[in-house]
Structure 1
């Protein structure tokens, strides 16, 4: 059986933690930063976890990292 292909976009956007949860980056920190408060920008820089309802969809895109 040939190897399964991971989704290239998902490979770049998600990382799997040791416990099997999926980490993601937050949106809205690329531009128009002058009107955002320092506290908000700091929190946007931190990683977040993919919601449990969306986890299975992301794991399907990462056959070797997500299972």
Structure 2
């Protein structure tokens, strides 16, 4: 069976944890930040775990992660 290719777009967006879950960036922290509170911006900086409903899709895109 041939080797599976990793989707490079997914590899740049997700990181696998030691337990096999995937971490992702949060949305809304790119621009238009003037009206957002410091607390909101600080929270948006942190990473989030990919939801279990999307985990299978991410796993298929990154077979060796």
TM-score by length of 2: 0.95
Structure 1 residue 3 displacement after superposition: 1.9
**What are the within-5 Å matches in structure 2 for residues 10-49 of structure 1?**
10-49=10-49
- Say whether 1:3 aligns with 2:3: yes
Structure 1 residue 4 displacement after superposition: 1.1
Aligned-residue CA RMSD in angstroms?
0.7
**Which runs of 5 or more structure 1 residues have no equivalent in the other structure?**
none
Give the whole-Å Cα distance in 1 for the aligned partners of 2:5 and 2:38. Answer: 40
**Which runs of 5 or more structure 2 residues have no equivalent in the other structure?**
none
Match for residue 50 of structure 2?
A: 50
SS of residue in 1 equivalent to 2:59: helix
SS of residue in 1 equivalent to 2:23: strand
TM-score by length of 1: 0.93
Runs of 4+ in structure 1 off by over 4 angstroms are none
Matched positions, count = 65
